[in-house]
Amino acid sequence: AQSVTQLDSQVPVFEEAPVELRCNYSSSVSVYLFWYVQYPNQGLQLLLKYLSGSTLVKGINGFEAEFNKSQTSFHLRKPSVHISDTAEYFCAVSEGRGGGSNYKLTFGKGTLLTVNP
């Protein structure tokens, strides 16, 4: 069974500082990895995804993530954060394209990023 661990429940940073949000997964098969962002009182929006190919994936709003198969990690990074990046970030994993036959997407518990002035 697949699972996702987000190692930090909260990450406070100052504006313009770099940030890394950590995500580790476990699965017995090849996986596809995602980061979603949830702004306050809104739904989830896809930031970026890794399906195959280059292990460094670039997403929206200047975020990027690196897939590391040996360490089963998919950490999210941004070199300089803004106040507007304050949100909750969810790492998710699926087994197979479209989540396999049942489109299953397993989410981590989320990391609340708070950017302070």
Give residues with Cβ within 8 angstroms of 96, minimum separation 6.
29, 30, 32
**Residue 20 pairs with which residues in a beta bridge?**
77
| By the rule CB under 8 A, 34 interacts with another protein | yes
Q: How far is the CB of 65 from another protein (least distance, A)?
A: 15
Q: How far apart are CA 16 and CA 82, in angstroms?
A: 6
Which of 47, 57, 38 minimizes the C-alpha distance to 111? 38
Q: Which is nearer to another protein, 3 or 80 (CB)?
A: 3
One of 11, 23, 25, 32 touching another protein (CB under 8 A): 32
One of 26, 45, 80, 116 touching another protein (CB under 8 A): 45
Residues 58-117 that bind another protein (CB under 8 A): 90, 94, 97-99, 102-105, 107-110
